[in-house]
């Protein structure tokens, strides 16, 4: 592989990925060449893509910013890349940057597609930026208030980041609800509570559901207080989900609301661009406690096997899985 080529991870068919070498164009005016240091795997969306579970109706809406190919495959997919600028405008040369780019060792993109990392944010932590951006948008959609009792059902990376952000609001009591006791020490490090579903506190003013499971959504509805909001963050792909809307759902006048990061939350949309939202997310990553969410790391050569393993066992105890790319 030469400086004018790169390796990229392609999902060649549902359930199978491989690393392919491809030519790189020389960066032109207004472009940068980025050498990747780390990339992050989205355990929810990327494993659905890996299994070929993107519904045909969502093929266009689910395209990543620099995706190549089409669902179900072959497709080059991903959106959490951290690297260093090797060529481009002088102001960016040598700078560590974040880009919504698929898993690839080097790439050329417009200069305005990269986001310089703020001081104090190490590249290895910056792979959380896209996930934290989802959590920021979710709280904009949920609109919690000071002093709210907030439950987050599902202690994956997105749920934990939602809980961490909500826990920084004065007076809010935040509890993460998850079936895995191993989430407790992570919650303690993030400064939020934890409970197993059977011991979870009810009468929540706001419930955010991020478990990706129908049972989790049922728990979220059960924990909600009168006229509370239940915000649905999980994306199920082609799976059909049974939602328990009987019982006290109507009597408690619950609001079931969706949130998705593709659009800036309606309450902020007139003032916030995608770029401004991502800049905020990167700045928030200066908190060292967030390193607790990066539970696994693997070298670049193992990426196809890692994707297969995560897709086969979506309920394992890991959180963000970081891929470390080859040195220059």
Domain spans of the chain, in order of start: 5-125+285-324, 135-258
> Which of the four pLDDT bands, split at 50, 70 and 90, describes residue 44?
confident
Nearest to 134 by CA among 254, 11, 10, 40: 40
Averaged pLDDT, 54-73: 94
Whether pLDDT at 197 is above 80: yes
Nearest to 224 by CA among 153, 274, 155: 153
DSSP string for 248-272 = TTTTTT-EEEE--TTS--TTTTTT-
pTM recorded for the entire structure = 0.95
Whether pLDDT at 97 is above 80: yes
Averaged pLDDT, 23-27: 96
Architecture of domain 135-258: 3-Layer(aba) Sandwich (3.40)
Averaged pLDDT, 154-171: 97
Nearest to 31 by CA among 86, 104, 101: 86
Q: Find where tokens 């506190």 sit.
A: 201
Whether pLDDT at 109 is above 90: yes
Whether pLDDT at 248 is above 70: yes
Averaged pLDDT, 283-305: 97
Whether pLDDT at 2 is above 60: no
Q: What pLDDT sits at residue 131? A: 97
Q: Determine the Cα–Cα distance for residues 37 and 95; give it in Å rounded to an integer.
A: 12
Helix (H) or strand (E) holding 68: strand 68-69
Q: What pLDDT sits at residue 43? A: 86
> Which of the four pLDDT bands, split at 50, 70 and 90, describes residue 247?
confident
Q: What pLDDT sits at residue 3? A: 59
Comparing 5-125+285-324 with 135-258, is the CATH topology the same?
A: no
Contact 180, 155 (CB under 8 A): yes
CA–CA–CA angle 16, 17, 22 (5° rounding):
145
Q: Determine the Cα–Cα distance for residues 139 and 158; give it in Å rounded to an integer.
A: 11
Averaged pLDDT, 17-32: 96
Q: What pLDDT sits at residue 123? A: 98
Averaged pLDDT, 195-217: 97
> Which of the four pLDDT bands, split at 50, 70 and 90, describes residue 278?
very high
Whether pLDDT at 159 is above 60: yes
Whether pLDDT at 23 is above 80: yes
Q: How much is the mean pLDDT over the chain?
A: 95
Q: Determine the Cα–Cα distance for residues 215 and 146; give it in Å rounded to an integer.
A: 29
Q: What pLDDT sits at residue 328? A: 81
Whether pLDDT at 285 is above 80: yes
- Per CATH, the number for 5-125+285-324 is 3.90.180.10
> Which of the four pLDDT bands, split at 50, 70 and 90, describes residue 234?
very high
Q: What pLDDT sits at residue 235? A: 87
């Amino acid at each position: 592989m030469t400086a004018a080529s790169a390796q990229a991870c392609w999902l060649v068919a549902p359930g199978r990925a491989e690393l392919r070498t491809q030519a790189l164009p020389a960066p032109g005016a207004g472009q940068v060449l980025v050498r990747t240091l780390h990339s992050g795997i989205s355990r929810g969306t990327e494993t659905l893509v890996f299994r070929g579970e993107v519904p045909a109706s969502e093929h266009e809406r689910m395209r990543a910013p620099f995706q190549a190919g089409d669902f179900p495959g072959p497709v080059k997919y991903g959106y959490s890349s951290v690297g260093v600028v090797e060529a481009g405008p002088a102001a960016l040369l040598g700078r560590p940057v974040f880009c919504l780019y698929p898993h690839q060792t080097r790439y050329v993109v417009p200069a305005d597609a990269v986001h310089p990392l703020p001081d104090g944010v190490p590249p290895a932590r910056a792979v959380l930026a896209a996930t934290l951006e989802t959590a920021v948008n979710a709280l904009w959609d949920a609109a919690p208030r000071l002093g709210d009792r907030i439950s987050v059902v599902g202690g994956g990376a997105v749920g934990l980041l939602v809980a961490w952000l909500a826990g920084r609001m004065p007076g809010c009591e935040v509890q993460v609800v998850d079936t895995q006791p191993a989430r407790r020490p992570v919650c303690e490090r993030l400064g939020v509570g934890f409970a197993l579903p059977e011991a979870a506190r009810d009468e929540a003013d706001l419930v955010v559901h991020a478990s990706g499971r129908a049972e989790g959504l049922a728990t979220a509805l059960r924990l909600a207080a009168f006229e509370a909001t239940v915000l649905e963050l999980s994306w199920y792909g082609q799976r059909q989900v049974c939602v328990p809307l009987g019982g006290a759902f109507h009597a408690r006048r619950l609001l079931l609301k969706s949130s998705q990061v593709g659009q800036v939350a309606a309450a902020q949309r007139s003032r916030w661009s995608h770029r401004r939202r991502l800049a905020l997310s990167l700045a928030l990553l200066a908190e060292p406690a967030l390193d607790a969410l990066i539970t696994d790391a693997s070298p670049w050569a193992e990426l196809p096997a890692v994707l297969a393993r995560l897709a086969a066992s979506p309920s394992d105890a890991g959180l963000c899985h970081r891929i470390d790319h080859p040195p220059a």
